Amino acid sequence: MPYFSDLLAATWLLSVGDSFELVSPAGAVAPSPPAGPAPSDVTEVAAIAAGGSGAAGALNRNRNRNRNRNRNRNRVLGGSRTGQGGGFGGAQILAPWRELEMLHRLAPAWIDLPLALPPAPSGLMAETLDLLARRALLDTLAEAARRDEILGQVDLELSGYLRPLGIESDDAMPETTALMLTVVWLAETVGLRYKARYDAPRPSEVNPQLKPFVAVPGHASYPSNHSFQSYSIAFVMARVIPEHPGISALFHSARRIAENREWAGVHYPSDSRAGHDLARMMVPVYEIVLEEQMLRARAEWL
């Protein structure tokens, strides 16, 4: 029997979740993949992602044992910007690496969703004409409140998602807040992948007469991640608390947040529609990746 040191000398010992996996160095013959057809839908992909043999299987077997120990890993950190608790502003979580890992394991279920193509260049130019009119209105006294909203929504700000549900501070419902923040992480990851695929130019690139109200992000326009993240939160919460009377208001708020980016001149209406559609198509994936968090959030409302 070889010494453990000899085994390590011929392999890499990699951490995989709460277990380890021995990986042969480059040039070694990799083990054959399991026989059988490729997964055809999100359920089959999820079964493969959660199960398997080796370290991945050990991770799955240890999941129940480690569940309670890891319950706090996505707890909301901070509170309001004042540090006094209450209010909105400073809520954040540590990177939800387990959920992100599961999301990437489920990539075959979401990497090629039937999202409509962005409009042709002539269509994008036509959309900018409406954006020019709205941009001019934005500078008027009547739209002062919208200007404040736009500036507050440049970065993640949860009041637009919590208040429709009757929550008046980041720390009032910590599991619900943590779930929303985790959804934002996942949607950011998926959204950037689709942005890179379509590589649509920003409105001000298509029509230089348009002067955006806020800084233009450095990535592509389609789909809108503000829209995608906002509607993702709304769709997930509609699964968590479908009976809540504030769910319709949450969807209205998601639409308002998406439209504000159009008023600011950084997104087309077609970007916002695509964000909504992508969020709706991602729901089956979210329900798998976020099962535990959704159940914990649900328990807060019972």
Residue with tokens 């910590």: 174
Residue 49 lies in a domain: no
Does the pLDDT at position 270 exceed 70? yes
Domain end among 16, 47, 69: 69
Residue 224 lies in a domain: yes
What CA–CA distances, in Å, run from 56 to 12, 16, 22, 61?
16, 7, 12, 9
Does the pLDDT at position 204 exceed 90? yes
Does the pLDDT at position 16 exceed 50? no
Closest by CA to 266, choosing from 161, 89, 127, is 127
Same-domain pairing of 95 and 154: yes
Residue 47 lies in a domain: no
pLDDT confidence bin for 8, thresholds 50/70/90: very low
Closest by CA to 87, choosing from 179, 157, 184, is 157
Counting Cβ atoms within 10 Å, is residue 300 exposed (0-12), middle (13-18) or buried (19+)? middle
Same-domain pairing of 111 and 167: yes
Domain end among 16, 38, 69: 69
User: Which domain CATH number covers 188?
Assistant: 1.20.144.10
Residue 271 lies in a domain: yes
Distance spanning both ends of the chain, measured CA to CA: 57
Domain end among 39, 69, 99: 69
pLDDT confidence bin for 169, thresholds 50/70/90: confident
Cβ neighbours for 267, distance < 8 A, ≥ 6 positions apart: 202, 203, 221, 224, 226, 227, 258, 261
What pLDDT score was predicted for residue 62? 43
99-108 pLDDT per residue, tens = 999 999 999 9
Same-domain pairing of 87 and 159: yes
Residue 181 lies in a domain: yes
Same-domain pairing of 154 and 255: yes
User: What is the enclosing helix (H) or strand (E) of 21?
Assistant: strand 19-23
What pLDDT score was predicted for residue 84? 32
What pLDDT score was predicted for residue 87? 44
Same-domain pairing of 131 and 263: yes
Per-residue pLDDT averaged across 122-128, rounded? Answer: 95
Same-domain pairing of 64 and 156: no
State how many domains the chain has: 2
Residue 45 lies in a domain: no
What pLDDT score was predicted for residue 9? 52
Write the single-letter amino acid at 1: M
Write the single-letter amino acid at 80: S
The 3-state DSSP class for residue 299 equals helix
Same-domain pairing of 153 and 266: yes
User: Which long-range CB contacts under 8 A does 272-276 form with residues at least 24 apart?
Assistant: 272/224, 272/227, 273/227, 274/115, 274/116, 274/118, 274/222, 274/223, 274/224, 274/227, 274/228, 275/191, 275/223, 275/224, 275/225, 275/226, 275/227, 275/228, 275/229, 275/230, 275/231, 276/227, 276/228, 276/231
Same-domain pairing of 64 and 98: no
Same-domain pairing of 112 and 230: yes
Highest mean pLDDT range out of 11-20, 55-64, 171-180, 258-267? 258-267
Residue 34 lies in a domain: no
Per-residue pLDDT averaged across 205-226, rounded? Answer: 94
Report d(CA 119, CA 121) in Å as an integer: 6
- Kind of pairing between the strands at 19-23 and 12-16: antiparallel
Full residue range of the structural domain in which residue 9 is found: 1-26+57-69
pLDDT confidence bin for 10, thresholds 50/70/90: low
User: Which long-range CB contacts under 8 A does 154-158 form with residues at least 24 apart?
Assistant: 154/214, 154/215, 156/181, 156/184, 157/88, 157/89, 158/88, 158/91
Residue 285 lies in a domain: yes
Same-domain pairing of 135 and 233: yes
Same-domain pairing of 64 and 97: no
Same-domain pairing of 186 and 294: yes
